[in-house]
A and B are shown apart, each in its own frame.
Chain A
């Protein structure tokens, strides 16, 4: 068993950059090696956090969905979603539930923009933007360009 797959991927990415890349003959191959190394770094960063990040998103969506008034869209789907758990903790199953949550969230977000004077809608709107902010921050990749 590899004790830390993320660390392993990072080490391999570094190896590509420091050893294989410079030894390649063409600029095209060197650039390819650089891209592969960067993608392995990205994989390493996502490896540890992917399931956890999606679960956090799902939990935060559940909070918003249960806070919504009855007249907000997709009432039945919201209730059903809040009761669900992923079929397993495999990434594919967690991602599937996350997808369902994001689909409901998009409809809810559109609804929350409907009446700028409605206090509840505005509150839900702020909550959704805050969730999206946290979602994007925790999925951010630590790369030179980011």
Chain B
């Protein structure tokens, strides 16, 4: 027993605290805010949830630059939120997806629920890990969705994603459209089966922010102390198995769950530049 204590690396109090606890708290705050805005709009003439969506900024961008007009339901606030999202992406890549996006948080909660229902962390068979031959090509779908969205926004009057946006349907309680509910149901059911189904395969904002993963200076870094135990890869909700020195994967959402999972505090950390 004494020998084991000697070999185990020492951890400071800050290192023992789980970053995932803080992340879940921040995610819950943004989910709460989205629900508040969505509910408030139902009863009062306050701003709708569309006004707070960074993807709305992407959809409005072309028309705003060329004609100085906004697509219906979009406002200057969308540009401000988009600017804020891009500012975080420039420095931290897809951190918005991992920490702020309310739809991402709901998907994570669903995946954890599925895991608990099917027997917990070790025995649970959900969420599934798709075979690489299927998973890898599916991940390119989101770039197609982004391309379609940008192309559609050139001549659109309403935002192209608006009729079936799952974020809006979920937090805005859009009950009148069967199409919107069907899309939301598919995404939520998909999230029970595959963790972050929407983020991995379909999210156009995730596709846009993924590009910044290649240039953002703040990233997860693995050191020589890494023994390739694979715990980080097993924990990763985005299914990244990359253990290169600087993790620049397009899929990394900077959730830092890998830092919590690692038993060697000196093996994995966050580095700038």
**Mutual binders A and B:** no
